Structure 1
């Protein structure tokens, strides 16, 4: 349904969109993988972060 077909007022559509974003977060990243620095370590797919979160007594 396009915004022009939506019977809700613009203020309500904006409020609903903000609520969905607050609940579910952004569905798409701001940048694509080819725009990011490959050495940044963010979202590398490795388990390094997970391993660093393990408490010492779980060795």
Structure 2
């Protein structure tokens, strides 16, 4: 935890980071533009969506 004796001297990004740590959403060390693009996940593809169609809906 950060020790902030005077909340008024805390910068906006420090406040956001402190709140994120308290509520479990710590900020990442890098931003998305600094990381390599992720491969498309199976859940993001049309194939996954089509596989979820029940047989009685004319799926396969």
Same fold (TM over 0.5): no
Higher relative contact order (CA 8 A, sep 6+): 2
TM-score range, shorter-chain basis?
0.3 to 0.5
What is the TM-score with the length of structure 2 in the denominator? Answer: 0.39
Q: Which has the larger radius of gyration?
A: 2
